[in-house]
Amino acid sequence: MDEIAAEQETILEEFRQLGDAFACYSYLLGLAGLLPPCPDEVKVPENAVAGCQSHVWLHAWAENDRFHFRADSDTYILKGMLYLLMNVLDDRPLKAAAKGKLYFWKDPLLLGSFDDHRQKGLGYVAAALQKQAEELLGQESPADREAAEK
Amino acid sequence: MIAQGECGGHPVVYLDNAATTQCPRPVLWALENYWLEQHANVHRGVYCRSSQATMAMEETRQHTAEFLGAASAREIVFTHGTTDGLNLLASAFGDAVLRPGDLVLATEMEHNSNLLPWLEVCRRSGAVVELVPVTDAGELDQEALDRLLEQKPKLLTLCAVSNVLGTVNPLKDIIPRAHAAGTAVAVDAAQALRHGLPAVTDLDCDFLCFSGHKLMGPTGIGVLYGKEEWLERFGPACFGGGMVKELDWPDVTYEEIPGRFEAGTPNLSGIAGLGAALEYLQAVGRKRIAAYEGELLRYAAEKLRAIPGIRVLGDPARRAGVLSLDLPPLSAYDAAMLLDKKGFALRSGRQCADLLHRRLGLSGSLRLSPAFYNTREELDALCQALEEILSVSRRAGIPVGESHG
């Protein structure tokens, strides 16, 4: 199991231990406070993933061939989910971040209601992040990529 | 009688009746009966079933006219719902009336369905849409309306009841002022018909739209009411079978109203369901329903106002149908998600009323809209769940009700 899958399994195990959906969502409210602060300059329209129900702002960059991002939302539940997404994707090798299979919010027992593309939910946010990781990966020189893969 | 079921192990407390109501058994029976016993196309066949289907549709049209208090069944056009009715109206009115420079008035509290068709038709015709502003209490600014009416707009289109604030607009006061300015009036009654809307002949509105699914009927069926003299002025907005009297290529003569506006096969099962829903509402008693729902809403407002951290939006003189809440800094999305996990179905977000939310300085709100099958006990349980959510939020370090009052 790769690091990204392992982190997601850890997350799912934590949620399964919480018992019911209300406890899971309440837990997310608490996780919201752990999301690293997002600078105001990140919260600009070009970084926004806007929906009817909520707004999310994303800013990604590469450093030493690793993927990094900051994110924020105007809802606490999504902030909590963004914190978990950060645990899964942030500081991973660019290629792993771009290609890794992301699924933790799709677990039907726990967080199925996030996978709603119409509301531009977490699936949409994760796809946007992986697209950015893909673009950052494409900007690397072949030599950088070779070094990173070693 | 009306099943609400279970969700995630909790009994569902359905409080999103402003979005759609649940169908009572008589409506479901009417749908079943239609499909088993009556299904055939209307206006097409000489055979028995087709004639019966046509008669059933026209009976519902007559019944709908009586329900609305219209002068004639010729004034009732079946549509797919309020949105479809407003689009049909905007298109027909735009073609028949609007010219470059003309003015159409809408209001800041409209659902997008009563804004976007007018915006688009005005773009096409060169007319202009202006908005009647909303006061801090959540009412239409009547002085601003009078100033705008001085410009002799061709049409004022407004909701009877706001889908966000529940504001009941004083139509009987507004419509004569608009008519005095030579302005026709269209009413979006999507939220109003369970809450004591007067007869259309009494209101004297020129047009009115509503949906069956907010009146215990099925989805996909609605009505555009138009005064006969107006409908006679309009050409069809949609073309095809069922609306042609004679085609002598390339000359064509269209059907009389209202058939002229009903191209193609109508939603016959929907019409059967709508007819049953209207009968059901009349059997239960429309005044009784309006009184009970009004009492539930007042009870909910009083209880919710007493919970620190919850703000009931708006304070209109008359409110019906809905209450919207703000729980800063918790978002409506957070609250609705958490309520869902307790079995409560409430609407969150901008509720298709983007302009009103901008006016209120909010990115969304949490809306409850009880119907006559809801109870005080359910509202008590909702308040208890909301208090638990606020408590959980505070424990999570979210300062609900502390800095925002």
Domain boundary, last residue among B283, B300, B322: B283
Provide mean pLDDT across the span B1-28: 87
Predicted pLDDT at A112 = 57
Residues A28 and A46: beta-carbon distance below 8 Å: no
Provide mean pLDDT across the span B3-32: 90
What is the distance between the alpha carbons of residues B393 and B39, in angstroms, rounded to a whole number?
54
A33 interaction partners in chain B (CB closer than 8 Å): 396-398
Indicate if B162 and B290 belong to the same structural domain. Answer: no
Domain contains B140 = yes
Number of Cβ within a 10 Å radius of residue B244: 16
Confidence category of residue B1, pLDDT binned at 50, 70, 90? very low
How many structural domains compose chain B?
2
Alpha carbon B29 to chain centroid distance?
24
Indicate if B279 and B298 belong to the same structural domain. Answer: no
List domains and CATH numbers for chain A.
3-149 (3.90.1010.10)
Distance linking the first and last C-alpha atoms of chain A:
19
Q: Is A73 helix (H, G, I), strand (E, B) or coil?
A: strand
Indicate if B152 and B173 belong to the same structural domain. Answer: yes
Indicate if B321 and B277 belong to the same structural domain. Answer: no
For the question of residue B209 being annotated catalytic, the response is no
B397 interaction partners in chain A (CB closer than 8 Å): 30, 33
Residues B179 and B207: beta-carbon distance below 8 Å: no
Indicate whether B287 pLDDT > 80: yes
Nearest CA to B124 out of B107, B99, B103 is that of B99
Interface-testing mutation among B10, B12, B334, with chain A (most A C-beta atoms within 10 A): B334
Indicate whether A148 pLDDT > 90: no
For residue B222, the one-letter residue type is: G
Predicted pLDDT at A52 = 60
Query: What pLDDT, in 10s, does the model give residues B157-178?
Result: 999 999 999 999 999 999 999 9
3-state helix, strand, coil in chain B (%, to 5): 45, 20, 40
More confident residue, B392 or A41: B392
What is the distance between the alpha carbons of residues B77 and B257, in angstroms, rounded to a whole number?
8
Backbone angles phi, psi at B252, to 5 degrees: -140, 140
For residue B238, the one-letter residue type is: C
Sign of the CA dihedral running A39, A41, A43, A48 = negative
Provide mean pLDDT across the span B246-271: 96
Indicate if B292 and B255 belong to the same structural domain. Answer: no
Domain contains B369 = yes
Confidence category of residue B404, pLDDT binned at 50, 70, 90? very low
Range of the domain at B334: 6-18+285-395
Provide mean pLDDT across the span B219-238: 97
Question: Cβ of B361 under 8 Å from any chain A Cβ?
Answer: no
Domain contains B379 = yes
Indicate if B275 and B295 belong to the same structural domain. Answer: no
Indicate if B338 and B267 belong to the same structural domain. Answer: no
More confident residue, B333 or B403: B333
Indicate if B29 and B48 belong to the same structural domain. Answer: yes
Domain contains B1 = no
| Dihedral-angle region of residue B154 (phi above 0 means left; psi in -120 to 50 means alpha; beta otherwise) | alpha
Instruction: Scan for tokens 């708006």, then name that residue.
Output: B314
Q: What is the mean pLDDT of chain B?
A: 95
Residues B390 and B306: beta-carbon distance below 8 Å: no
Indicate if B168 and B244 belong to the same structural domain. Answer: yes
Interface-testing mutation among B6, B7, B327, B331, with chain A (most A C-beta atoms within 10 A): B331
CATH number at residue B99: 3.40.640.10
ipTM for the predicted complex? 0.86
Residues B326 and B362: beta-carbon distance below 8 Å: yes
Provide the number of CB pairs (under 8 Å) joining chain A to chain B. Answer: 59
For residue A118, the one-letter residue type is: R
B334 interaction partners in chain A (CB closer than 8 Å): 29, 75-77
Q: Is B371 helix (H, G, I), strand (E, B) or coil?
A: coil
What is the distance between the alpha carbons of residues A143 and B336, in angstroms, rounded to a whole number?
50
Confidence category of residue B4, pLDDT binned at 50, 70, 90? low
Q: What dihedral do alpha carbons A29, A33, A34, A40 form, nearest 10°? A: 120
Domain contains B217 = yes
pLDDT above 70 covers a percentage of chain A that reads: 82
E strand residue ranges, B62-203 = 76-79, 103-107, 128-132, 155-159, 184-188
Indicate if B174 and B119 belong to the same structural domain. Answer: yes
Indicate if B137 and B251 belong to the same structural domain. Answer: yes
Domain contains B401 = no
Question: Cβ of B163 under 8 Å from any chain A Cβ?
Answer: no
Report residue B401 as tokens.
């009700």
Confidence category of residue B44, pLDDT binned at 50, 70, 90? confident
Indicate whether B283 pLDDT > 80: yes
Predicted pLDDT at A111 = 58
Q: What is the DSSP string of B228-295?
A: HHHHHHPPPSS-STTSEEEEETTEEEEPPTTGGG--S---HHHHHHHHHHHHHHHHH-HHHHHHHHHH
Indicate if B195 and B273 belong to the same structural domain. Answer: yes
Active-site residue, from B7, B238, B352, B383: B352
pTM of the model: 0.92
Q: Do A76 and B398 touch (CB under 8 A)?
A: yes
Residues A73 and A82: beta-carbon distance below 8 Å: yes
Domain contains B181 = yes
Predicted pLDDT at A119 = 46
pLDDT above 90 covers a percentage of chain B that reads: 91
Residues B70 and B55: beta-carbon distance below 8 Å: no
Q: Is B97 helix (H, G, I), strand (E, B) or coil?
A: coil
Number of Cβ within a 10 Å radius of residue B55: 12
For residue A43, the one-letter residue type is: K
Instruction: Scan for tokens 């299904």, then name that residue.
Output: B39
Domain boundary, last residue among B283, B312, B329: B283
CATH number at residue B313: 3.90.1150.10
What order of strands is seen across the sheet that includes strand A66-73? A48-50, A55-63, A66-73, A92-93
| Interstrand relation of B207-211 and B184-188 (parallel, antiparallel or unpaired) | parallel
Window 83-122 of A: residues touching B by CB (8 A cutoff) are 113
Nearest CA to A119 out of B261, B348, B175 is that of B348
Nearest CA to B191 out of B308, B296, B322 is that of B322
What is the distance between the alpha carbons of residues A119 and A52, in angstroms, rounded to a whole number?
7
Domain boundary, last residue among B283, B314, B329: B283
Nearest CA to B162 out of B367, B301, B8 is that of B367
Query: What pLDDT, in 10s, does the model give residues B392-401?
Result: 999 999 999 8
Helix (H) or strand (E) holding B298: helix B286-305
Report residue B151 as tokens.
């410009």
Q: Which residues contact B114 (CB under 8 A, 6 or more apart)?
A: B86, B106, B157, B158, B159, B188
Instruction: Scan for tokens 């129900």, then name that residue.
Output: A53
What is the distance between the alpha carbons of residues A59 and A38, in angstroms, rounded to a whole number?
9
Question: Cβ of B334 under 8 Å from any chain A Cβ?
Answer: yes
Domain contains B11 = yes
